[in-house]
Amino acid sequence: MANIRDLAKEAGVSVATVSRVLNGYPYVSEEKRKAVWEAVEKLNYTKNIQAVHLAKGRTTIVGVMLPYIHHPYFSAIIEGVSKEALRYGYQLLLFQTNYDVERELEALERLRMKQMDGLIVCSHQADWEIFAEYQEEGPIALCERVDGYDFFTVYIDHYQAFAKALRYLLDKGHRRIGYCIGRRTGPNSQARAAAYEEVLRDAGVTPQRQWIFDGCLFLEDGKRVIEQWMAMGERPSALLVTSDQVAAGIVLYAQRVGVRIPEELAIIGFDNDPLAEMLGITTVALPHFTLGERAFRLLHHWLETGNVPRKQEELPTRLIVRATG
Amino acid sequence: MANIRDLAKEAGVSVATVSRVLNGYPYVSEEKRKAVWEAVEKLNYTKNIQAVHLAKGRTTIVGVMLPYIHHPYFSAIIEGVSKEALRYGYQLLLFQTNYDVERELEALERLRMKQMDGLIVCSHQADWEIFAEYQEEGPIALCERVDGYDFFTVYIDHYQAFAKALRYLLDKGHRRIGYCIGRRTGPNSQARAAAYEEVLRDAGVTPQRQWIFDGCLFLEDGKRVIEQWMAMGERPSALLVTSDQVAAGIVLYAQRVGVRIPEELAIIGFDNDPLAEMLGITTVALPHFTLGERAFRLLHHWLETGNVPRKQEELPTRLIVRATG
């Protein structure tokens, strides 16, 4: 198997020169450059890089199934996965499904056909049953809590994270509490809706459906929330906001139109985004980046050792009290 | 080739029921669910999805070469690429190279071996020559300006974008101008450095190396810039900041420590991030997202029609004047 030393020997130049040529650095004579590229061709150097993987029976590709990338939640997971993938020399094959089951099945089928070594599922639409079936075909790691199936998952308990923030607001005397969310469907949103209903009712407070703002994904959605809030007859005195980007939008727009935070409206964000720290936003730190890192790392351990993990790992969340609530 | 109608016929249920079962929706009897999954297995439904691609001689995979994802510039390009990939039913194979030439060669070799249909190169280390060679093996689209080679590229002219902002500051009477940048190497940074030197010298102003702040990538880097700026004997009166996230960090931290923007320090960001709009930051809009979209779309056109584009497409930039400079 040719390596950089063989290339140097074949080309009659130093290893340093080979490295300079491969890296496209200047100050190498045309003659030496030519000799190096001829050696690359003669020794099938690039083909051999690929051959190493094939010999190991590996693709060094890990699939990542997610509905779309253009969303802060999924891009944070992807960043965590990709940091670890880079470290271990793996490539990522992204399956953007748009929650279309056919695309999800395609990902699973590529796993079965060994076009990748394993699959990380960030979020999905298809029945759990089909994932359970394909788990026999190749390693699958999930980023959501699953009850009733024997999956390998890393997850955040969104019910408890939401409940923690709600109890904090109740303790501070708030009784008119609403929340902002991305979409109403999906297991994370359902867990939050359940926490909202149950924690408030336990405290003798009536949940108010009209104080649930949905479609809140990006900074600019904060403006709409403040506008809607200002137009309300009876207004919530506090909002949980499931994204710090949206919380920052709310805080900055409130500043502009003269709504006093937290006196008129308390805000608790989620994520612990650097922007939340900069703006003094009280937030629940959610380890999305860590979720991606951990999912990859455990899948990698599985691939390297062959030991199938059968555990559910919960990542901790933490309320960070700052100025907005 | 089995489709959803064949599944319904085989299972003796309605098409709607098949769809409900595949999508994991509730309210389907256990008996019907079982019948559908048996039909899926009997008709090799999932295998057939894959077979459609194989029959076309396509992988429906497009590679994306980039040093790392965890960086706002590359994640914006990726988001643009992925939006279009989703639309046309393509998967993305990410090659995070960390600017390691062996990893770049691996991507090119996978292209040669038809493990993907095409490759988008966001940034790279290896010599142009090797890309020119591999272009014979499969479609390659570049996201950087290349002179002297016949590549298909979509790019932003960073020299002109930087020059535009510098001339604006000079016109407003600034003579002490510095800038904040991510890294000093790479073609985009070199283009900006050249613009800084040349535009200032043309105006009879001496460029000041000590007013170049590097390592400025994220919001939190803005704090460090303000601290360094405050510690300087002779300070610049204006800064170009090559990322709006960093510009926002500067503006927010300046507010906290009482530095008046733009009276004491004018700030011009780049990108036109929603945060810049929210904070009233003057910025040069850079179409990174569009860059990704366009690169994918033209690669897709190439794959569909077989017509090799041989053009260099420049995307426009625009100065948006707001409150900070």
Q: Is the pLDDT of residue B50 over 60?
A: no
Q: Is A155 helix (H, G, I), strand (E, B) or coil?
A: strand
Distance CA B150, CA B144 (A): 13
Q: Where are the domains of chain B?
A: 4-55, 61-156+289-315, 158-285
CB of A143 closer than 8 Å to CB of A121: yes
**Spatial CA neighbour of A158 closest among A236, A242, A224, A96:** A242
Q: Which residue of B has its CA nearest to A99?
A: B23
| Domain covering A158-285 in this structure, CATH number | 3.40.50.2300
Chain B residues lying within 8 Å of A129, measured CB to CB: 24, 37
Segment A150-173, tens digit of pLDDT:
788 999 999 999 999 999 999 999
Q: At A50, list the tokens.
A: 């690929």
Of A61, A86, A274, the CB nearest to B220: A274
Chain A residues lying within 8 Å of B109, measured CB to CB: 46-47, 49-50
Task: Determine the residue type at A206.
Answer: T
Of B49, B110, B252, the CB nearest to A279: B252
Question: What ipTM does the predicted assembly reach?
Answer: 0.78
Q: Is the pLDDT of residue B47 over 60?
A: no
Q: Indicate the CATH number of A4-55 among 3.40.50.1370, 2.40.30.10, 1.10.260.40, 3.90.226.10.
A: 1.10.260.40
Q: Which residue of A has its CA nearest to B70?
A: A79
Q: Is the pLDDT of residue A70 over 80?
A: no
Q: Is the pLDDT of residue B157 over 60?
A: yes
Distance CA A140, CA A153 (A): 9
pLDDT, residue B209, reads: 94
Residue of A25, A32, A41, A70 to mutate, testing the B interface (most B Cβ within 10 Å of its Cβ)? A70
Segment B75-85, tens digit of pLDDT:
889 989 998 99
Q: Is the pLDDT of residue A113 over 90?
A: no
Of B49, B68, B125, the CB nearest to A102: B49
Contact B127 A93 (CB under 8 A): no
Question: From the CA of A26, how many Å to the nearest CA of chain B?
Answer: 10
Task: Say which residue the tokens 């939640």 belong to.
Answer: A73
Distance CA B176, CA B162 (A): 16
How are beta strands A177-180 and A118-121 bridged, if at all? unpaired
The count of other CB atoms within 10 Å of the CB of residue B310 is: 8
Residue % of chain A over a pLDDT of 90? 56
CB of B273 closer than 8 Å to CB of A219: no
Q: At B172, list the tokens.
A: 């407003």
Chain B residues lying within 8 Å of A86, measured CB to CB: 68, 96, 98
Chain A residues lying within 8 Å of B277, measured CB to CB: 220
Helix axes B158-171, B187-202, angle to 10 degrees: 30
**Average pLDDT of every residue of chain A:** 89
Domains A4-55 and A61-156+289-315 share a fold: no
Q: So what's the architecture of B61-156+289-315 in CATH?
A: 3-Layer(aba) Sandwich (3.40)
> At CA B118, angle to CA B115 and CA B122, rounded to 5?
115
pLDDT, residue B172, reads: 97
pLDDT, residue A112, reads: 86
Distance CA B45, CA B183 (A): 50
Chain B residues lying within 8 Å of A128, measured CB to CB: 24
Question: From the CA of A45, how many Å to the nearest CA of chain B?
Answer: 9
